[in-house]
Amino acid sequence: MTGTGGNQHWAPGDHILWRYLGNASGDPHICRPVTVVQDTDDLLAVWMAPGTECVRPVIADGTPVHQEPLATRYTKARTVERSQWFGMGVLKLARPGEPWSVWLFWDRGWRFRNWYVNLEAPRTRWAGGVDSVDHFLDIAVEPDRSWRWLDEDEFAQAQRDGLMNADEARHVTEAGRSAVAAVEAWGAPFSDGWEKWRPDARWPVPELPNDWDRAPAHMPA
């Protein structure tokens, strides 16, 4: 990390971990090694390359979480497994203190597909990366600037299963409305031209460390 004005930033090309903590356990259960594209006081941008080895949660019997019926998706015992990110990579953009991150997806040939707004806790930085908690509800934003809610059923089920209380759910809904307002105003980062960005061909794919789930000493975001 380099120090700038009292804050510490990663340099372009640095490898860090983008992790999500379990809503119930508080332990890391999603881990994605990424390459830093930009890290300033205003924006953290990272690239998850195709073929990256990641960690994801699965049901204890090995069933992928998205294949488990919704009624038991959040109540059955879970474990984690290592897996590869297939398809095109993902560019993730996050502004300090904002309760969402914006992901950009492309199809083959760098045909831009869409933006994806992932509602989540503001990220906590540590020496090896950033941690957050996923808030279930998401927003898809199309190239024509239209948008739609995603995973409303999972958001509702998480509340029924006690993973989120009424106050927390209200804050998430408010965050979603703020994100929608940003989309409709077509402000940053949607208006910044990131869909034309391309990764440096010299960047190696980051490796997943054995201690990916280590407990860090957190630093100010």
Query: What CATH number is associated with residue 123?
Result: 2.40.380.10
pLDDT at 26 over 80: yes
Looking at residue 86, its pLDDT comes to 86
Residue 167 lies inside a defined structural domain of this protein: yes
Looking at residue 201, its pLDDT comes to 94
pLDDT at 180 over 90: yes
% the chain with pLDDT above 70: 95
State how many domains the chain has. Answer: 1
Spatial neighbors of 3 by CB under 8 A, at least 6 apart, are: 9
Looking at residue 3, its pLDDT comes to 45
- How is residue 170 annotated by DSSP? H
The overall pTM is greater than 0.85: yes
Range of 56's domain?
Answer: 2-202
Which of 114, 121, 137, 123 is closest to 183 using CA atoms?
A: 114
Q: What is the mean pLDDT of residues 79-85?
A: 96
Q: What is the mean pLDDT of residues 180-185?
A: 97
Mean pLDDT of the chain: 94
Spatial neighbors of 115 by CB under 8 A, at least 6 apart, are: 102, 103, 104, 105, 140, 141, 190
Q: Which residue, chain included where needed, has tokens 């950009």?
A: 104
